[in-house]
Amino acid sequence: MEYISIRQASDKFNLTTRQIRNLCQSGKIPGATKVDNMWIIPSSITTLSKSKKDLLGSKINNSDEIYGLKYNYVIIHGTFGHPGENWFPWLAEEIAKLDKSGKTQKEDILIPHFPSSACSDYDSWKSVLMGYIDSGIVNKKTIFICHSLGPLFVSRVLIEEKVNVKGMISVEAAANHIMGNPAFDNINKTFFVPSWDYLNKLKSYVDFNYCFYTDNDPHVPYNILKEYVDHAATKTFFIPNAGHFNEASGYKTFPQLLELIKTIEKSEVVDEEKIQEVEINTTAWDKKLSHTWTNMTWPNRPSISELSVYTDILRKSQKRNLEQKSCLILGSNVEFRDWAYEENLDVSIMHNNENYHLATYRELRHKNAPYKIILRDWREIDFDNCYDFIVGDALIGNLDNVKLDDFMKRVSKSLKPGGYFLSKSYYFPQDYKIKTPEQIFEEYNKNEKFFNPISCCIFDLTMLSLDKNNIVNFQKINNIIKNAYKKQLIDKPTYEKLSNIGLDQMNYKFYVPNYTDYINIANKYFVVEEIKFTNDIGSENFPLVILRKK
């Protein structure tokens, strides 16, 4: 007798591999035999029972009985996500309100919590979702609402297991993209599909896949988002300047998405322009945070490569002393907070603006990381031999030339003997020649057009804007960018990326010391142990000065 595998049977009978396996285990396929851990099925069998009772057992719930809505909704989070973040709880409550009978509760809107440890992968997530599919909770009336990695995950499961659902709504699909962050990449790459064309198959298993995407996601490049929507979407909704459609980008609510769901429930034709015109209400603080923080990239935020330099310094110090190290973070920088937690440091954070500190919480990957908060202006740091490490980003720029010497003295006093001060900032190089806007953008368009213009151009634009006291004029930078666009020195995508970092909202002073002057002051209180550079674009303009207390 000839046999076929479960996969071959799945293709032959148009059932999922899980359904075929269930039939084998329940004895519903005559002659099916288990060899080691694999089932084999007689190839002579031509039909299988397709009743849900045979395939799935008793259905746990019937969607018509659970909901007074036309469809049942399943919200899928992304990597390291959870059901209580972003706009998920708000949306569940708003969907429940659409049931005028009052029967549906927000708890009835399914938001599974997928494994979120560093050991999670596609198979562990799939095993969770298949439980809902096999039980019948996910069925032909289901609409998936997926964020970040969620669209790729659900697309792949539906295609692999040949599962038909009503549809999908995909929000900022992070598909087949290496971020450069090992914590995320090691997980995300297990979800990758073999090619973009593979996603074309999705349309066989959904009536629609409506996709929201934007142009300034700090985690997923625009071209990656476009690849997903071009291959998998049935209709698209482009929302400019939406970041990652998460809390850090102001998305604790998502009115455009709710309007789309209302349209689907009414069985009306979906009008892309109408959906895109719905305004999202974010607080002024959310908008400010989105422009001045979320939209920033290196060098205005620490990069993975930069943090790896600090990790090397930490490793060297640990060889001398294996006890847990104490670390003071000046400011509320989230990259340093995540880094300190991952390195098992005893963390304190010094910041005088509690509202700002709480707002940056949205961007943390390790939201439950322990730390102590010191609500004081970090520029007035004054401790006695307390910390092994003091770190912060762009600290020097928040001082002025009068206070720099005093600040460096205070930092040294606050460190333990041999402790390190680690911070990147802007410095004016001794032999640097100011460039004109034409020179800056001609060089970018010629050599670096495919890289982020913030990383490539912001240093030269900053040097061009300095006043006689080496203070940055952010409004001047903003005007240079606007004029460059008017003169067609840069194209529209470049202009939008440069103008989306909130320069028009930056009304504070930022000091750029002469590099030689800074080193001379540093030498008074520290040993300049190393001058390091990262492998980031433009890193030659940002030396990482590793200072050790004398």
CATH architecture, range 63-282 = 3-Layer(aba) Sandwich (3.40)
Q: Could you give the angle at the alpha carbon of 504 between the alpha carbons of 503 and 508, nearest 5°? A: 75
Under 8 Å between Cβ of 232 and 199: yes
- Alpha-carbon gap, residue 475 to 506, rounded angstroms: 8
pLDDT tens digit string along 115-129?
Answer: 877 778 999 999 889
pLDDT tens digit string along 482-495?
Answer: 999 999 999 998 88
Identify the pLDDT of residue 293: 64
**172-176, 310-314, 322-326, 338-342: which range is least confident on average?**
322-326
Name, in order, each residue with C-beta under 8 angstroms of 408's C-beta and a sequence gap of 6 or more: 521, 522, 524, 525, 526
Q: What percent of the chain has pLDDT over 90?
A: 42
Rg (the chain; Cα; Å): 27
Residue 4 has pLDDT above 80, yes or no: yes
pLDDT tens digit string along 377-410?
Answer: 898 899 998 899 999 988 998 887 678 999 999 9
Alpha-carbon distances, residue 407 vs 74, 412, 426, 427 (angstroms): 53, 9, 16, 16
Identify the pLDDT of residue 538: 81
Name, in order, each residue with C-beta under 8 angstroms of 135's C-beta and a sequence gap of 6 or more: 56, 57, 59, 60
The sign of the torsion formed by the CA atoms of 289, 294, 299, 301 equals positive
Residue 99 has pLDDT above 50, yes or no: yes
Q: Where are the domains of the chain?
A: 3-56, 63-282, 304-427+513-549, 437-505
- Alpha-carbon gap, residue 476 to 458, rounded angstroms: 12
- Alpha-carbon gap, residue 358 to 240, rounded angstroms: 26
**Torsion-angle region of residue 26: left (phi > 0), alpha (psi -120 to 50) or beta?**
alpha
More confident: 406 or 36: 406
pLDDT tens digit string along 164-199?
Answer: 999 999 999 999 988 888 888 899 999 999 999 999
Helix axis angle for 150-161 and 122-135, nearest 10°, is 60
Beta bridge partners of 167: 143, 208
Mean of pLDDT values over 241-265? 88
CB atoms under 10 Å from CB of 58, counted, come to: 8
Residue 205 has pLDDT above 70, yes or no: yes
**260-274, 288-302, 361-375: which range is least confident on average?**
288-302
The two structure tokens encoding residue 68 = 């007074």
Mean of pLDDT values over 134-148? 90
Q: Could you give the angle at the alpha carbon of 360 between the alpha carbons of 355 and 364, nearest 5°? A: 145
**CA atoms within 13 Å, Cβ hemisphere of 522:** 22
Closest CA to 226 of 277, 178, 175: 175
pTM above 0.75, yes or no: no
Closest CA to 233 of 215, 216, 212, 211: 211
Which CATH class name applies to 304-427+513-549?
alpha beta
Name, in order, each residue with C-beta under 8 angstroms of 130's C-beta and a sequence gap of 6 or more: 18, 157, 161
Helices (H) and strands (E) in the chain, counts: 21, 15
The sign of the torsion formed by the CA atoms of 351, 354, 360, 364 equals positive
Place 307 in a pLDDT band, splitting at 50, 70 and 90.
very high
Across the chain, what does the average pLDDT equal?
85
More confident: 389 or 13: 389
Residue 92 has pLDDT above 60, yes or no: yes
Chain Cα centroid distance, residue 186: 15
Under 8 Å between Cβ of 176 and 221: no
Produce one character per residue of 170-186: b if its CB has 16 or more CB atoms within 10 Å, e if not.
bbbbbbbbebebebbee
- Alpha-carbon gap, residue 83 to 113, rounded angstroms: 6
Transcribe 427-448 into DSSP letters.
Answer: -B-TT--PPPHHHHHHHHHHH-
* 53: enclosing H helix or E strand: helix 52-56
* 126: enclosing H helix or E strand: helix 122-135
SS3 content of the chain, % helix, strand, coil (to 5): 45, 15, 40
**Residue type for 17, please?**
T
pLDDT tens digit string along 418-467?
Answer: 999 999 899 999 889 999 999 999 988 887 666 778 888 989 999 999 98
Under 8 Å between Cβ of 502 and 481: no
Question: Looking at residue 269, what DSSP letter applies?
Answer: P
Place 371 in a pLDDT band, splitting at 50, 70 and 90.
confident
Mean of pLDDT values over 258-275? 86
**24-33, 301-310, 521-530: which range is least confident on average?**
24-33
**Residue type for 79, please?**
T
Q: What percent of the chain has pLDDT over 70?
A: 89
More confident: 257 or 30: 257
Identify the pLDDT of residue 474: 84
Where helices occur in 403-490 by DSSP H, the ranges are 404-414, 437-447, 453-465, 474-486
Residue 321 has pLDDT above 70, yes or no: no
| Burial of 107 (C-beta count, 10 Å sphere; 0-12/13-18/19+) | exposed
Identify the pLDDT of residue 29: 82
Identify the pLDDT of residue 354: 67
Identify the pLDDT of residue 165: 94
Identify the pLDDT of residue 273: 73
Note whether 63-282 and 304-427+513-549 share their fold: yes
Mean of pLDDT values over 65-69? 66
CB atoms under 10 Å from CB of 405, counted, come to: 16
Mean of pLDDT values over 489-504? 83
Alpha-carbon distances, residue 446 vs 442, 459, 484, 498, 520 (angstroms): 6, 17, 15, 17, 37
Under 8 Å between Cβ of 214 and 172: yes
Pairing outcome for strands 346-350 and 372-374: parallel
**Residue type for 472, please?**
V
**160-174, 271-285, 477-491: which range is least confident on average?**
271-285
